[in-house]
Structure 1
Amino acid sequence: MQKSRFLNVFISFVMSLFALLSTTTHAQNSDLKQIFTQLSASSVVRANFVQHKKLASLNKTYVSKGTVVFTKNSGVLWQIQSPVKADLIVTPKKIVQKTQRTYSQIEVDKTPYGSVATMFLQLMSGNETALAKNFNVVSANYSPTKWNVSLTPKSGLFKKLFVKVDAQGQRYVDQIVIQEQANNSTTIRFSQQTAQPQTLTAAENALFQLAK
């Protein structure tokens, strides 16, 4: 899998959670706001994911599967299981890509995607001032069994990447659909979401240490 593919997975995940949780700043519904506050409150969140990346120009859909771990103290760890096994570690300073045979890293401020990573980490640490600059809420609906939100980008950076984000879920995020430029799209489905265990395993911690 090429480096751009890994970055694409990273961007999709960052955009999805960034878009979703940014509604805590804008949404007027107090119940909905409470749910998003709950989503961003856990210091560690774990989930399985399946991502479908559709490229309209090629008429192809690429599927990636694996697990993801977010921790406020360390960053985000993607453990991609297919189509190949790979780890992608994102911290405030670095993005590290590791497979069985390859290893690469890049400073966040040395890549055009660095501002996305920085913004995401600011989001998860509660920087609402930064969030308010980037998204408009088109709609937000909540019931005790289901919620959904639709957002459009406000900033020039995100407008270059996508057109609209639709997210839905119950206690946690279940699905996010990102409508991108050139009629491309990314659909991410999460399952078995949990805030436990709160402590990183030795293997997870070792991967995060690579990006220190």
Structure 2
Amino acid sequence: MLQHYRSFMLCVTCSAAMFTPAVHAQNAELKQIFSQLGAVPMVRAHFEQQKKLASLNKTYVSKGEVLFSKNLGVLWQIQSPVKADLVVTPRKLVQKTQRTSSQIEVDKTPYGSVATMFLQLMSGNEAALAKNFNVVSANYSPAQWNVVLTPKSSLFKKLFVRVDAQGQRYVERIAIQEKANNSTVIRFSQQSTQPQSLTAAENALFQLAK
């Protein structure tokens, strides 16, 4: 169970989009995408992650709810195959199950920048994301946008080959091509900006990461 949970933590927080100075038109498209995503202070959604391990010829599926708060961070509430919570802030990572709770400073783990990728994407933090990825292509329209990325930093080159992100008003799908022919696909659905206030349970989880 622990190994599966760690695999989920690594993959589900690898959601990212960024830009490098290449083509002006492409930069403009990226800025529109970031502006659209960063304009919403809070988004709730259902997620489903499918992780395929080529060596085992097996696909692992994780499902749950995700909450993004521009001011606080990201809360992943995993419902299956195990129940667990993952809180990601710019400073800390907190993992909590029914029996255990642990936390670590982002800058004290090599996966810190990985774990903050989704937060940086939703916040429209171009500068932070630009440290880790280059853009292969970026297209934007009010009805659909998509970004194709390749890793820039040495850490991400060890983990990923390519990242594809797409959506409409919100992020809807992220496909990650990994080393050794492994892959991860995360789909988001039922996105909503309501309610804007945290529940007592959600607030308590975010307090753990302070």
TM category (shorter chain) comes to 0.7 to 0.9
Deviates more, 1:115-124 or 1:167-176: 115-124
2:45, 2:191 within 8 Å by CA — same for their partners in 1?
yes
Q: How much has 1:42 moved relative to structure 2?
A: 1.6
2:13, 2:116 within 8 Å by CA — same for their partners in 1?
no
2:161, 2:177 within 8 Å by CA — same for their partners in 1?
yes
* 2:58 aligned residue: 60
* 1:139 aligned residue: 137
Show CA shifts across 1:175-212 (max 9, x none): 11100011100000000112222221211001111122
For the aligned residues, what is the CA RMSD?
2.4
Deviates more, 1:5-14 or 1:117-126: 117-126
| Residues 1:15 and 2:9 are matched in the alignment | no
- Cα separation, 2, equivalents of 1:46 and 1:25: 32
- Cα separation, 2, equivalents of 1:52 and 1:122: 22
* 1:103 aligned residue: 101
Give the structure-1-normalised TM-score: 0.86
Show CA shifts across 1:45-99 (max 9, x none): 2111000011111111100000111112222111000001111112233222111
1:30-69 superposed matches below 5 A: 30=28, 33-69=31-67
Extract unaligned runs of 5+ from structure 1.
none
Deviates more, 1:22-31 or 1:88-97: 22-31
- Cα separation, 2, equivalents of 1:64 and 1:106: 23
| Residues 1:74 and 2:63 are matched in the alignment | no
- Cα separation, 1, equivalents of 2:103 and 2:155: 23
- Cα separation, 1, equivalents of 2:20 and 2:65: 25
Extract unaligned runs of 5+ from structure 2.
none
Matched pairs, number: 208
1:24, 1:36 within 8 Å by CA — same for their partners in 2?
no
- Cα separation, 1, equivalents of 2:46 and 2:31: 25
Amino acid aligned to 1:101? R
Q: How much has 1:23 moved relative to structure 2?
A: 4.0
